[in-house]
Structure formats: structure tokens, C-alpha cells
Amino acid sequence: MINMKKHIVIVGGGFAGINLIKSLKNDSRFSITLVDKNNYHFFPPLIYQVATSFIEASNISYPFRKLFSGYTNVHFYMGELTKIHPENHSIETDTGNISYDYLVIALGTESNFFGMENVKRCALPMKNIEEALYLRNYMLLNLEEAARNKDPQEAEKLQNIVIAGGGPTGVELAGMLAEMGQFIAEKEYPEIKHGLSNLYLIDALPTLLSPMSKVAQETAYKKLEELGVKILLNVSVKDYVDGKVLLSDGTSIQTETLIWTSGVIGREVPGIPEESVGKGRRLLVDAYNKVFGTENIFALGDISLQLTDEKFPKGHPQLAQVAIQHGNNVGRNLKRIEEGKEQIPFRYDDKGSMAIISKFNAVVDLPKFSFKGFLAWLTWLFIHIIPLVSFGNKVRLAVEWFRLFITNNPSIRLILLPKKNTDQE
């Protein structure tokens, strides 16, 4: 008997991929293969809390196989996409080849270093769990070295932390590092005389949180300044040489830690027609997320550039809600194609944006008004728990946050650098 099921291969199990899968799960007309280079889904908006030793990585990640264990039509395949072959409907990964009826590309983005090779080589990006754990270990090791170092200049260099990028991630990271420095410094690092770190937050634009409201921008600036963060605006990073960050105004900062939250670029997708790649290396798609110049390939979420939505003529912001709504709409449309119905064009329902600045302080921009302070902070916590994929993760994170915000003292500052067979060293 011929298998009439449509095989949908989804590459990338982030917000877009997972929500597409949820909308098609247990539908016997489709057989779905999710390909991802990791075996887990994770929640990027809380990565900075992993990097700062505030929460465990497992609080915001979940294994795909466990997630799909009750789904009858979904398979997981671990592999990294290396090339697509539109002409014979197949993809190549580092672990094997797979053919498809429909291909969905939901690979997200990677850090953009704007062609600065030294920055790319030596700065610390923070886009995924691995990078966040690396950064956590790196900062903790630096603190130990600063505590041992008797040379004040060297110690200062180790304590200086420069965050490039004053968007929500940079602001959230700066606020949390500044607060942790205050709460933990005296108790745990008595050898370090002038606090845990000198924090610099740098942005090329004239304001922090540039896509947000004036209320949000001013609140973030004021609160971070109160926390002792040195904010440099209208200045960009030009190079990073010999532990020195060189800035566009001719000044420089000595540091061993340059954290890069400054920009993103779409991941490369070898095999996609060149004319389908738009600004920011995003894949140009039509109103139904079909990639220009292809027949049965869709792109969703951060990696896609859709210019057909009247309210967003320059494309949608690269946010979780866009990816979630893309996933849901493409799921609905794939069903409609099967049913011979017309597809529904994508329209983004903007639910607003928010950023946490410090304990009890956040800013929230809703489509019609903005608010800040404690209520905004509670809203932020609630909104960031809801999209976690499992009930267990939601409960664990809520309990953990409650404990941490009361005690001000996360206890997972462990330097863990896994090695094989350490006995023989």
C-alpha cells in the first residue's frame, strides 16, 4: 500500500518549530520529523539567568524525545543541517540525509559580529545554553583569579565586564550582574576590595532598549545607573585587542570579559537560492511563509523575513511571539492545503514587549500603554513562566524564583568543566 502521509521535515526546534509541531500533533495525515542539533528545546529569554548562575539550565530546557513521547506522528532526529537539495526534496545533515514532502526551516539566528574578527574570536556571545554555561564558568574563574591577583591593574582588568548591546538582553544581564555583585561580594569574595565587577553597558544608539517606549528607556537607564552600571551610549565597539575593547570615540576599556549581545544574523542555509536571502541573511517568504523561489519550503521565526504584513512593512521583529504565531499559522495552512482550502495569510498580533531591570523592577510596553515597577516585574515573571514547555519546568522555576528573590543568594556558582578521566592528570 502506498503511504499517502505527507512527510514534513522541520529543521529547528525553537519556538517556531515546536509550535508548528504542536498544531499538527497526532494528525494522521502528516508524519513529522524534527531535526535539531541539540536534543532539547530551550527558552532563550531566560538564558541570561543561566549565565549569571541564577538558575539551572534544566529549568529552561526540555528533551525533545520526552516532549514528543505522547505524540503519535512526530519523530526526533539529532543532526545539524549542512545543506538542502530543493531539486530532489532532501536535506543533508552531519548525521545523515532525509527526504521530505514539505521542508520547514526554523533555524533562528546566530550572533552578528559585524565583520570584526577579533571580537568574533574573543568576545563571549550568549545565545544558547552552551554559551551561557561557558560564560558562567568563565566569569566564575575570572573572579577566582581576581581574588588571587595582587596586582591592582590586573585585578581590575579581571573585574571589568563590558556588555556590548543595550537591548533587552544587555539590560537584563547588566541589572542581574550588578545586583549579584552587591548581594554576594562582601560575603563570598572578601579578597576583592571594590565589589565583584565594574560593569560597562555600551550601545551605538542614543538610548537603551531602543525598540521600546520612552518610559521603558528612561527607567532602564535610571535604575542601572543607580546600580552602578557605567552606561556608554552613542558609542560602538570597533575592535578587541590584547584584552582592550577599542571604542568608536577613541577611548578603550581593559577587560578580560567582553559579552556580546549586540546583534544577530540569520543562520546560513546552503542550498537555498541566493535571491531568496534578504537583509540580515533572513529568508524572504511570502504571506504564507513559503520561501521565495521554492515550491515546498517554508521558513518561520527569526530566520524569515516577511514583508507582506501591512503593519510591519519592513518585516517583523525577531521575537518569540512572532515565531510562535508563525508556527501556528503554518500548521493551520498545511492542514488547509490537505483539505483543498485557501491558505490564510500571516498577520502578527503584537502583544507588546517587556524587560526586567532589577529585582522588583521591570518595564512593560503593551500595544496601548506602558507601565513599570513592581506590577511590571510580576507581569514579567508570569509571562516568562507561561511559555516554558513542561508543567514541571514551570513549577520548578516558580519555586526557584520565589526562593531566590527572598534569599538574594543563588547557590549554583559551581565551576563545572566536564573532562574524561581526571584521575590521571
- Alpha carbon distance 391, 27 (integer Å): 23
Instruction: Report in angstroms how near the CB of residue 289 gets to ligand FAD at its nearest.
Output: 11
6-14, 181-189, 229-237, 240-248 -> range binding ligand FAD (CB under 6 A): 6-14
Task: Tell me the C-alpha distance between 13 and 105, whole Å.
Answer: 10
Shortest CB 323 distance to ligand FAD, Å: 3
> Which of these segments, 15-23, 277-285, 385-393, 405-413, binds ligand FAD (CB under 6 A)?
15-23
Q: CA-CA distance, 318 to 163, in Å (whole number)? A: 20
160 Cβ neighbours under 8 A, 6+ residues apart: 197, 198, 200, 253, 254, 255, 256, 257
247 makes contact with ligand FAD (CB under 6 A): no
User: Which residue number, 95 or 409, has a Cβ lying nearer to ligand FAD?
Assistant: 95
Q: Are strands 304-306 and 283-285 parallel, antiparallel or unpaired?
A: parallel
Per the listing, cell 566536564 goes with: 418
Which of 86, 168, 181, 410: binder of ligand FAD (CB under 6 A)?
168
Identify the residue among 266, 301, 315, 331 touching ligand FAD (CB under 6 A): 301
Q: Single out the residue of 8, 9, 10, 11 in contact with ligand FAD (rule: CB under 6 A).
A: 11
Q: Is 12 in the site for ligand FAD (CB under 6 A)?
A: yes
Which distant-in-sequence residues (6+ apart) come within 8 Å of 42 by Cβ? 57, 60, 61, 62, 128, 129
CA dihedral 376, 380, 383, 385 (to 10 degrees): -140
- With CB under 6 A as the rule, give the number of residues binding ligand FAD: 32
Say what the alpha-carbon torsion angle 202, 204, 207, 211 is, to the nearest 10 degrees. -110
The count of C-alpha atoms lying within 13 angstroms of the C-alpha of 177, restricted to the half-sphere facing its C-beta, is 30
SS3 content of the chain, % helix, strand, coil (to 5): 35, 25, 40
Q: β-pairing, 283-285 with 264-266?
A: unpaired
Which residues, 6 or more positions from 400, have their beta carbon under 8 angstroms from its beta carbon? Answer: 55, 56, 59
Place of cell 518595564: 363
Residue type, position 108, single letter: G
Tell me if 169 contacts ligand FAD by CB under 6 A.
yes
Stretch that binds ligand FAD, among 21-29, 41-49, 181-189, 271-279 (CB under 6 A): 41-49
At 384, give phi and psi (nearest 5°).
Answer: -90, -10
Is residue 323 close enough to count as binding ligand FAD by CB under 6 A?
Answer: yes
Considering only 52, 318, 333, 379, the residue that binds ligand FAD (CB under 6 A) is: 318
Candidates 16, 24, 163, 299; binder of ligand FAD (CB under 6 A) is 16
Please identify which residue in 131, 179, 256, 302 interacts with ligand FAD, judged by CB under 6 A: 302
Interface with ligand FAD, residue 328, by CB under 6 A? no
126 binds ligand FAD (CB under 6 A): yes
Cell of 209: 532598549
Binding ligand FAD (rule: CB under 6 A), the pick from 129, 164, 297, 320 is 320
CA-CA distances (angstroms) from residue 310 to 228, 303, 332?
A: 42, 20, 21
Measured from the CB of residue 355, what is the shortest distance to ligand FAD in angstroms? Answer: 7
Q: Is 171 in the site for ligand FAD (CB under 6 A)?
A: no
Query: Which region among 42-50, 54-62, 199-207, 335-343 touches ligand FAD (by CB under 6 A)?
Result: 42-50
17 is a contact residue toward ligand FAD (CB under 6 A): yes
Instruction: Record the cell numbers describing residue 33, joined without a space.
Output: 520529523
CB nearer to ligand FAD: pick between 291 and 323 = 323
Taking the complex as a whole, how short is the minimal distance between the CB of residue 68 and ligand FAD, in angstroms? 14
Site string for ligand FAD, 105-124 (x = CB under 6 A): -xxx----------------
CA distances from 46 to 140, 179, 210, 373 (A): 19, 17, 20, 19
Q: Which positions from 172 through 211 interact with ligand FAD, judged by CB under 6 A?
A: none
Taking the C-alpha atoms of residue 157 and residue 198, their distance in angstroms, rounded to an integer, is: 9
Q: Is 80 in the site for ligand FAD (CB under 6 A)?
A: yes
Instruction: Mark the segment that binds ligand FAD (CB under 6 A) among 9-17, 116-124, 222-230, 238-246.
Output: 9-17
C-beta closer to ligand FAD: residue 104 or 155: 104
Residues that bind ligand FAD (CB under 6 A): 11-17, 35-38, 44-45, 47, 80-81, 106-108, 126-127, 168-169, 267, 301-303, 318-321, 323
